[in-house]
Amino acid sequence: MEFFNFNNHGFIRVAVGIPTVRLADPLANAERTIALLEEAAERHATLTVFPELGLSGYSCEDLFGQSALLRACLEALARIREASR
């Protein structure tokens, strides 16, 4: 059955993670992202992709220039990086 294993033919399994995003709450969004990463790993995904601005949300407008939101996004990204190891 080795022939039917797609990994033997140079393919990978890709997952798409679409979290419910809380606007301007990167740490909560990171937790949702990590949960989706864990689910994708359980399903043997090699790569999981997420929407852009999935940590901050799209319509933060002036908040994008605030250092508090930027720091929170960096902290959230660090949590995701640690969880994905």
Looking at the structure of the chain, the number of domains it has is 1
Q: How confident is the model over 33-67, as pLDDT tens digits?
A: 999 999 999 999 999 999 999 999 998 888 888 99
By the 10 Å C-beta count (0-12 exposed, 13-18 middle, 19+ buried), 14 is classed as: exposed
- Give me the pLDDT at residue 4, please: 80
Average pLDDT on 15-43 reads 98
For residue 47, what are the domain limits? 2-83
- Give me the pLDDT at residue 43, please: 97
Q: Under a CB-based contact definition with an 8 Å cutoff, are residues 80 and 37 in contact?
A: yes
Closest to 14 (Cα-Cα) out of 44, 38, 51, 48: 48
